[in-house]
Chains A and B, each alone.
Chain A
Amino acid sequence: MTDLRKVNIDGKEYEMPGRYTLMQACEEAGAEIPRFCYHERLSVAGNCRMCLVEWVGAPKPMASCAMSLNDLRPNRDGSPANIRTNSDTVRKAREGVMEFLLINHPLDCPICDQGGECDLQDQAIGYGRSETRYDEDKRAVEEKNMGPLVKTVMTRCIQCTRCVRFITEVAGVEELGLVNRGEHAEITTYLQANLTSELSGNVIDLCPVGALTSRPYAFSARPWELRKTETIDVMDALGSAIRVDARGSEVMRILPRLNDEINEEWISDKTRFVWDGLKRQRLDKPFVRVNGKLRPASWDEALATVAEKLQGDPDKIGAIAGDLADMESVKALKDLMENLGVRSIDCRQDGAHIGEQGRSGYIFNSGIAAIEEADAILLIGTNPRVEAPVLNARIRKAWLEGDAQIALLGAKSDLTYPHTYFGNAPSDLESLSTKKHPFITAMRKAKNPMIIVGMDALSRADGAQILRAVGKLAAEWKLVREDWNGFNVLHSAAGRVGALDLGFVPLKGGMNTGKILKAAQSGELDTLFLLGADELPMDQIKDTFVVYLGSHGDAGAHRADVILPGAAYTEKNASFANTEGRWQQTRAATAPKGDAKEDWKIIRALSDHAGRTLPYDTVQDLRKTMSTPKDEVFDPAKLGAAGKIKAAVFAPSSRSFWFTNPIARASEVMAQCASAQVTQLEAAE
């Protein structure tokens, strides 16, 4: 950018782009500007007045968030405009603003959940007067209902409207608003309805005061008591950066961390509020089924029982890895099974037809951040709002800021942005490119065209045929170029890409999930090893001996003959590859529950018992054996298999957003959200 402006900030001269706001310029110059309403990822409101700076010569201080360097004119002698961020005028202005903000703010910090991490508290110390001069009555505002997640104490609200702007701009549902005016202004939803956004929890972080706080976390801990662990999330396949706050052995809350490549600074409500599921339905000791009943057992007994079963005919043994399986345990299990001669292993418990034709065929090739560069996006058989709400916000951003055109072929749903709807018949994919439609033209001409295909499409019986049709579209529209790869698979399981990267798919002559289940139904399968796989039709498994290794007592554990208690994602240092194929690691925030161990260690111990000791003793040694598959030349047109796509339409996903994995199903908060959603839907009808 050549549009550079000279400006003098606190006595030093700088040259900066003219589009910079004064706030950006001052921060660039190293000055600290206090603010409440301004937020980098939201529109500028300029209503808190906390960011005032002095423009020498101007009669009044300036709101630095709402004024750009282009708005400044030089001094009369031609020297650059002087901005002061630490003069007496500025200090006085800040004190004044602070005093006004505190006029109606209650002094209830000792009972406020925001206490200790409150912008208002911090800035009152830093920039406010030392005592109040206000003797009149303070105003009081009624509490507002916003649903089971967001607790409100609206008397504390300072009307910065960050929450309103977030819900409107990022979450894309216009549900919050500022009603009345002046002294009586209040933030509310329409008639106090629940927030329906899957991103609503972010308003808790955005609120600079204690007006919007976390309802499940209410009054349970103070920030300075918590042990903070930076880790990643596994509730969806994005691998959002999170911070897990724990006290003792308990996870108290989950907050987002900044990662511009993936989640910016948002996380979905499932990611944020799932932590109470980490305390319920936990498997804390090994169990062995004796005479039809599970009874606690020692590790040695449980492992010996499993080891004995694994000595059987390797062709009659199967292993399925679930959605939350980490890469270390998947790798260890694969090595063990290979060692035993077992060929029937699979990580696609939903039967998705991906993963055997090269890495580019099953990952989100363009990367999540690149969605912002896309100018035409076609969604096929996916509902990103439910499968990956944060990614959906990114698509919305592409539409809002980049004018991207978006179309959907799949189950109809409210995606929070306008889109062309091509119906929900997958057979239309074959004729889609011949359609005379402005979107198809746009797709052909687009600089950065993008297809996002979801699991609703690929996990159908004819998923391979759909994948071929999608691949053909990608080839025809030249989605794969030297500098751009717009062929994207959106996964819904956190462990899927990692397991595919490690090749946890049927070895030559082995059975896939569907065939394993069929064999289990007909009695041809002796032993089935479930690595945290719970989303299977357990009633189909008849006499097969089932080993379940996982953290929660869900469907898999109920059916199991031996339960090996593993660790949840907050309790282990494990690797996950997100839908982009990005390898990331979780960090243990707490210890595993009871006798539970990290999953790969259990498999390592099991290999010992089975007499097939795996050749690694530490997680570092294990990781050395893991590597991403080399990517061969990618030709999307060759993906999948030829054949006819069935006429059946894409059905709306039967799985609720709140119940996609065992941890979420164990969470009471998720259940509350689901029932609140149902009540609201019924009321609307």
Chain B
Amino acid sequence: MASRHLAKEQPKTFAFSAEGEKQVKYWLKKYPKGKQRSAVIPMLWIAQKDHGGWVPEAAMRVIGDRLDMAYIRVLEVATFYTMFNLKPVGKHLIQVCGTTPCMLRGSGDLIKVCQSRIGSAGSISADGNFSWAEVECLGACVNAPMVQVSNSDGDLYYEDLDEASMNALLDELASGKAPIPGPRVDRVTSAPTGESITLTDASLFDGSRAKKLKKIPNAPAKTKKAAAPKKAAPKAKSATGKGGK
């Protein structure tokens, strides 16, 4: 990740969209009075969504004014988190995970695809459709290698990619389709590929192997006298986790 700078060409003004404004209000309400500055990250995020995927400098000033916060403090947050793009991005921002599990499983190939089809990291493709960046772990290691695509539809994960499926994904995106997120191999989410090889015995699930419960372990011995002290009753209930109404 190279040093992050603000884009040279910046819009003079910025205003939240009607939808964005609604979300801003939600976030401002969420924090206790006097702690509204906590909303700086959500507000930057909303501004980024409102402004085609990147945060212009004018938006930082707007947010600073809204939160009664020095502009430099907003800038500090915006430059600290790499999820905020400070320069224009393509319609689809491809974020290729390059951390160890993905790297071992072939994220290098995905990066090569990006480099050949889009250009160097941070640049926007000629048609304006794509830009890409290598990012740190996105937490989908079990489906490595993967990319996150940020566009007007949201931030979607495309997983278990290889060179061919990556190319296909870019083709689909370029043609204006909305590809279904998820694994690109034969599996459901992070379940094993192909057929199950464990826990295949049907009797495991029909209840036939269950033994009848004779005694609840650690349950208190039944008191003989019915007039037991009332105080103890709720305690006994909670100990078994059962009973009551």
Can you give 9 A-B contacts (C-beta < 8 A)?
A177-B72, A179-B72, A179-B79, A180-B3, A181-B79, A181-B80, A188-B72, A190-B71, A190-B72
A189 within 8 A of B: yes
Name B63-110 residues within 8 Å CB distance of A.
70-73, 75-76, 79-80
In angstroms, Cα B80 to Cα A100, docked, is 21
Which chain B residue has the least Cβ–Cβ distance from A177? B72
- The CA-CA distance from A654 to B71 in the complex, in Å, is 29
Nearest A residue (CB) for B76: A177
Check A372 for interface membership: any CB of B closer than 8 A.
Answer: no
B4: Cβ under 8 A from any A Cβ: yes
Instruction: Determine the chain B residues whose CB is within 8 A of the CB of A175 once the complex forms.
Output: 70, 72
Q: How far is the CB of B84 from chain A (nearest CB, A)?
A: 11
Report how far A186 CA is from B6 CA in the complex, Å: 14
Most chain B CB inside 10 Å of its own CB: which residue of A188, A189, A191: A191
Q: Is B57 an interface residue (CB 8 A)?
A: yes
**Is A176 in the interface zone, CB < 8 Å from B?**
yes
- Please list the 7 inter-chain residue pairs (A to B) with the smallest Cβ-Cβ separation, ordered nearest first: A174-B70, A177-B72, A179-B79, A190-B72, A190-B71, A184-B3, A177-B76
Besides the known contacts A178-B76, A191-B6, 10 further A-B residue pairs in the complex with CB atoms under 8 A apart: A174-B73, A175-B70, A175-B72, A177-B70, A179-B79, A180-B80, A188-B72, A190-B70, A190-B71, A190-B72
Residue of A nearest to B6 (CB): A191
Interface size class of B (residues with CB under 8 A): 10 to 19
Residues from chain B with a CB closer than 8 A to the CB of A191 are 6, 57
Q: From A176, which residue of chain B is reached at the shortest CB distance? A: B72
Q: Tell me the smallest distance from the CB of A167 to a CB of chain B, in Å.
A: 9
A418 CB to nearest B CB, Å: 11
- What is B's interface to A at a CB cutoff of 8 Å? 1-4, 6, 57, 70-73, 75-76, 79-80
Counting chain A CB atoms within 10 Å of each CB, the highest count among B6, B57, B79 belongs to B79
Residue of B nearest to A167 (CB): B72
Q: Does the CB pair B70–A179 fall under 8 Å?
A: no
**Given A179-B79, A181-B79, A189-B3 contact (CB < 8 Å):** no
Residue numbers in A under 8 Å from B76 (CB-CB) = 177-179
Q: Which of B2, B6, B57, B70 is packed against the most chain A CB atoms within 10 Å?
A: B70
A184 to B1, CA, bound (A): 9
Instruction: State in angstroms the CA–CA spacing of A189 and B4 once bound together.
Output: 15
Cβ contacts under 8 Å, B3 to chain A: 180, 184, 186
Contacts of A184 in B (CB 8 A): 1-4
Q: Are A179 and B73 in contact (CB under 8 A)?
A: no
CB-contact partner of B73 in A177, A180, A189, under 8 A: A177
Q: CA A178 – CA B79 in complex, angstroms?
A: 9
Are the C-beta atoms of A180 and B79 separated by less than 8 Å? yes
CB-contact partner of B4 in A177, A178, A180, A188, under 8 A = A180
Query: Do A190 and B4 have beta carbons less than 8 Å apart?
Result: no
A174 to B41, CA, bound (A): 19
Point out the residues of chain A lying under 8 angstroms from B71, CB to CB.
Answer: 190
Q: Which of B2, B70, B72, B76 has the most chain A CB atoms closer than 10 A to its own CB? A: B72
Interface string of A341-362 (1 = CB under 8 A from B): 0000000000000000000000
A175 to B70, CA, bound (A): 7
1/0 contact string of A182-209 vs chain B (CB within 8 Å):
0010101111000000000000000000
Q: Could you say which residues of chain B place their CB within 8 Å of the CB of A179?
A: 72, 75-76, 79-80
Closest CB in chain A relative to B15 CB, distance in Å: 20
Query: In the bound complex, how far is the Cα of B4 from the Cα of A191, in angstroms?
Result: 13
Residues of B within 8 A of A190 (CB): 70-72, 75
